[in-house]
Amino acid sequence: MQKNLMLPLYVTSGEPAGIGPDICLSLAERIDERPIVVLADINMLRDRANMLKQDIQIIEYMGQTETSAQGQLYVEHVPLANPVVMGQLDVKNAAYVLEQLRRSADYAMSGKSVGVATAPVQKSIINDAGMHFSGHTEYYQEFAGAERVVMMLATQTLRVALATTHLALRDVPDAITQERLHQVIDILIHDLKTKFKIEHPHILVCGLNPHAGEGGYLGMEEIEVINPVLESYRAQGVNMSLSLPADTLFTPENLKDADAVLAMYHDQGLPVLKSQGFGEAINITLGLPFIRTSVDHGTALSLAGTGLAKSSSLHAAVDLALDLARR
């Protein structure tokens, strides 16, 4: 533990025309046990601080091992291609956003950091620039060479992992295969045990169809695909439900002893979680060989530079990353 105590945690500032730079500036309020380093154009961040009338000493990070003092912020300079107009996306700055991700992943993979927390990016502008980009999760997966990763969002009281992530709804049923479910559940169990130190995790699983298929009348996926996989884990002593109707699974009575819920698709589980803790929730990528956490919100272009952006989710993401690093 002492060996990596002074390794930094990197924070990507994300889309420069959005609120990422604004919320990253709020990290200067913190006092942490290790350096927190923001990846951003240092001049842009100084300009944003001045615009927001924030008296912050922005220090270029050159490998310092001591933590910054309150009111100070370490920044590793990543140069912008074009000056930023807040609220206006610019394809010429798409490569700047990806360079933040590349550096953060490279440092984590090479043991130069304890992990990364990410501010939001705008997927559309990166794709408009001619670079295929599905999201942070898929980018880090490819960089790390991981066969499968799992997106999990968490609040103080609820964790929701996803069997599929950024897929059109019409593509979801075909993507729910026994092979995918085995991969996702293996990663979920492994990381709950190793990263979260939950020795015997209790996992609830959503069915794909309404009423979990209603015995086959509303779909056969639960009978033919999902439950056979879940039965195999239950036979090994894993504390896991069979597929449950998603409309009643998320009741307090059902959730009171659960360590995580596995939802079949993005908008099945995340609306419930975000309704409970939007702005405080954290996105965690499971299955990576390093720690990656993220905010639970988007770029909020209209709020950039207004001083109205809330930074609570970024602070929660940093807190969790630091907590996982010390476990």
Q: Is 16:298 a contact under the CB 8 Å cutoff?
A: no
Q: Any residues with CB less than 8 A from the CB of 110 and at least 6 apart, and which?
A: none
What are φ and ψ of residue 184, in 5° steps? -65, -45
Do 194 and 311 share a domain, yes or no?
no
Q: What is the mean pLDDT of the chain?
A: 94
Q: Is 136 annotated as a binding residue?
A: yes
Q: Is 274 annotated as a binding residue?
A: yes
Q: Which two tokens stand for residue 149?
A: 């990763």
Q: Is 315 annotated as a binding residue?
A: no
Do 303 and 238 share a domain, yes or no?
no
Q: Is residue 91 part of a domain?
A: yes
Do 93 and 136 share a domain, yes or no?
yes
Q: Is residue 283 part of a domain?
A: no
Domain count, the chain: 2
Do 140 and 170 share a domain, yes or no?
no
Q: Is residue 251 part of a domain?
A: yes
Q: Is 112 annotated as a binding residue?
A: no
Please state, as a whole number, how many other Cβ atoms lie within 10 Å of the Cβ of residue 39.
27
- Once rounded to an integer, what is the mean pLDDT over residues 128-153? 93
Q: Is 159 annotated as a binding residue?
A: no
CATH of the domain at 201: 3.40.718.10
* Percent of the chain whose predicted confidence (pLDDT) is above 90: 90
Q: Is 93 annotated as a binding residue?
A: no
The CA distance from 115 to 135, in Å, is 18
Residue range(s) defining the domain that contains residue 163: 151-277
**Predicted model pTM:** 0.90
Do 29 and 70 share a domain, yes or no?
yes
Q: Is 103 annotated as a binding residue?
A: no
Closest CA to 325 of 115, 150, 30: 115
Q: Is 137 annotated as a binding residue?
A: yes
pLDDT in tens, 39-97: 999 999 999 999 999 999 999 999 999 999 999 999 999 999 999 999 999 999 999 99
